[in-house]
Amino acid sequence: MYKRVRLKDTVRVPPEELGEVSPELVKKLLQDKLEGRMDEEVGSVVSVTNVHDIGEGTVLPNRPGVYYEADFDAVTFDPQMQEVVDGTVVEVVEFGAFVGIGPVDGLLHVSQISDEYLAYDGENQQLSSNESARALGVEDAVRARIVTKSIDERNPRDSKIGLTAKQPGIGKHGWLKDDHETQEATPGE
């Protein structure tokens, strides 16, 4: 999920900064350019942590500034298919719950939360069951598995991650604890 990777990229140093081209300046420019950007190969760049090498500058015709190729370390978030993740419910809607997993949100569709029918309660921002009195609401901790992933590099906020919580050992943390306690109370089953 989170990875430390070594990357190369080109960064533009504006004319007013050319007198002080340093690893600190290049790091700041790389952070402004890359942090929050989604890439199919490395995932979402969370942080540029260290600049190792700054190449020779290149001047391009009719473009102010100098372009430098930099070699640097970054922390990325790259969700993998079938990976089990922990997150927090950030929004509940009629069709499911959005779960914050790192710098992105995944959708836990209502059909992928429980085998029980879950009704939407807009007033309390939760999905609740009439069968077991279980409810899933904002700020609830959830464990889910990534089942679909569609990364939009141009607009990372439009990237889509689909989640499921319909298998043993995943779901709302409180439900998992209740299930574990029930299992311990009924030995031999």
Q: Mean pLDDT in the chain?
A: 88
Domains of the chain: 2-77 (3.30.1490.120), 83-185 (2.40.50.140)
Residues 171-189: pLDDT tens digits? Answer: 889 888 877 777 777 765 5
- The answer to whether the CB of 26 falls within 8 A of the CB of 13 is yes
Q: What is the pTM of this model?
A: 0.75
Residues 28-50: pLDDT tens digits? Answer: 999 999 988 877 788 888 899 99
